[in-house]
Amino acid sequence: MADLPPDLFDSDWAREAERRALRDHRRATRVRKARRLARPSRGALLSTLALSLAVVLMWAGFAFLDGTAPSASAPSASTASTSTAPLRKNAEIDPTRPFADTPAAMWREGAGGIEPPPAIPVGKYSAEQVGQFMERVRQLIITARLDRTVLETGDPAPVLALLAPMMVEKLADRLAPGHERKAWYVSERIAPGFRLLPVQPRVIGSMTPTINAEDELVVRTNYLVAYAFEAPEPQKLDGPMDIVALVRQEIEFRWIDDPKYAADAMGVWFGEVDGFSYAVGCAQGNLGFLAPAYTNPPGTNSATPSARRSEEYFDPNIPMPNEDGCP
C-alpha cells in the first residue's frame, strides 16, 4: 500500500490509540475520535482485507479531518439554518410534543431534514453523477439513523446493502455482536429495553460534495438528529432533555469507481468520521447503544456541561464539541 504504512495496527501505539478511541467514543457529551478506512489500493485487493485505520485527533472549526477543503468547483453546502429558541431545561415534558422547549422543535421531521444541495459538476464528475451519489448518501443516512427497524433491532443489513461489498467485508469484525462501540458510525442502535416515542426524530445539517486527495468523489456530511424516548413516569423527570437524546455525526462518504480496482471494491466507502452525543445515557453509550439521559445516576452532568451554553450543542455550525460529561 502506498497511502498507509503496512501493519499499522500491529504496533502497540496503534492498539492503545484505538483503545482510547473506543473508550471515549460513546461518552454522553463527547465522542470525538476519528477514523479513516484504508483506500482499496491494488496491493490491498491482492493481499489482505484487514481493516486499516488512522486515528485522527485534529479539530479546528469545520475544517475536515484530512485537512482538505472543498474544491473550487464543488458546491458549498448551505449553512444549516439553526433555531434561536432557548432550551427550557425544567419545562414540563409532553410526550405528544417531546421536542417542545428545545431548539430541535424548529428542525425538520425525519428524512425531510436531510436535503442535498443542488448538484453541479465536481472535478471529473458530471452534475448528474454528483446528484446520484448525494441521493445514495441521503438514503444511507436515512437508513442508518432514521429507519425504525435498524434503530430498534440493531441489524445493520439494510445499511450494508448500500455499501461496496469490500467495505462490508472490512467492517465484519466491528459488526460482530459485542463490538457495537467499534461500529458506532455504521448505524444508530437503540439500547435494549428502550423505545422511541411514536414521533419522527428531528434533523438538521448539511452535505457537501467535493474531490479528495485521491481524486475520488466524496460527500462530507454533518447532521444532528434528536431522538425522543418513552419514559415510564415523565412527570417525575426534570425536563425535555431527560428524554431527548442528541447525536451529531460528521461522516465522509467516498465513491469508488476506478476500473483498476476489483469489482467488489466499487461503490460507497466510509471515509473519516467524527461524532458527539449530548444528553444520553452514559452506561448504554459506553456499550455502543443510544439511551436517554434519565437513566444516568443522580448528579451525572451529561446534559449540562459547562463549556458552552446548552443551545450551542444544537448548532451544526459550531466546531465539533470536545467536552465529556460522563464519569
Instruction: Locate the domains of the chain by residue range.
Output: 8-314
Confidence label for 308 from pLDDT (cuts 50, 70 and 90): confident
Give yes or no for residue 160 having a pLDDT over 80. Answer: yes
Give yes or no for residue 162 having a pLDDT over 60. Answer: yes
Mean pLDDT check: name the lowest of 20-24, 113-117, 226-230, 315-319: 20-24
pLDDT value at residue 59: 29
The three cell numbers locating residue 79: 449553512
Confidence label for 322 from pLDDT (cuts 50, 70 and 90): confident
Supply angle C-alpha 11, 322, 176, rounded to 5.
50
pLDDT value at residue 306: 56
- The CA-to-CA distance between both ends of the chain, in Å, stands at 40
Mean per-residue pLDDT, 79-103: 82
Decide: 249 and 262 in contact? Cβ < 8 Å. no
Please state whether 110 falls in left (phi above 0), alpha (psi between -120 and 50) or beta: left
Mean per-residue pLDDT, 122-140: 98
CB neighbour list of residue 239: distance below 8 Å, 6 or more residues apart = 88, 89, 90, 91, 92, 93, 101
Decide: 256 and 115 in contact? Cβ < 8 Å. no
Which uninterrupted H or E stretch holds 166?
Answer: helix 165-171
Give yes or no for residue 44 having a pLDDT over 90. Answer: no
Cα–Cα dist 11/58, whole Å: 21
Decide: 250 and 220 in contact? Cβ < 8 Å. yes
Question: Is pLDDT larger for residue 10 or for residue 319?
Answer: 319
Please state whether 84 falls in left (phi above 0), alpha (psi between -120 and 50) or beta: alpha
Which uninterrupted H or E stretch holds 225?
Answer: strand 217-228
Confidence label for 324 from pLDDT (cuts 50, 70 and 90): confident
User: Which is it for strands 31-36 and 244-256: parallel, antiparallel or unpaired?
Assistant: unpaired
Give yes or no for residue 65 having a pLDDT over 70. Answer: no
Decide: 265 and 40 in contact? Cβ < 8 Å. yes
Give yes or no for residue 98 having a pLDDT over 60. Answer: yes
Confidence label for 307 from pLDDT (cuts 50, 70 and 90): low
Mean per-residue pLDDT, 175-201: 95
Residue where the block lists cell 486515528? 55
Mean per-residue pLDDT, 122-127: 97
Question: Is pLDDT larger for residue 32 or for residue 249?
Answer: 249
Decide: 201 and 141 in contact? Cβ < 8 Å. no
Give yes or no for residue 40 having a pLDDT over 80. Answer: no
Give yes or no for residue 50 having a pLDDT over 70. Answer: no
Mean per-residue pLDDT, 53-58: 29
CB neighbour list of residue 159: distance below 8 Å, 6 or more residues apart = 140, 143, 144, 150, 186, 187
pLDDT value at residue 299: 66
Confidence label for 272 from pLDDT (cuts 50, 70 and 90): very high
Burial bucket for residue 4 (CB in 10 Å: 0-12, 13-18, 19+): middle
Question: Is pLDDT larger for residue 3 or for residue 142?
Answer: 142
Cα–Cα dist 289/301, whole Å: 19
Mean per-residue pLDDT, 193-200: 97
pLDDT in tens, 214-266: 999 999 999 999 999 999 999 999 999 999 999 999 999 999 999 999 999 99
Whole-angstrom CA distances from 138 to 116, 135, 222, 225 are 7, 5, 12, 14
Give yes or no for residue 64 having a pLDDT over 90. Answer: no
Backbone angles phi, psi at 223, to 5 degrees: -130, 145
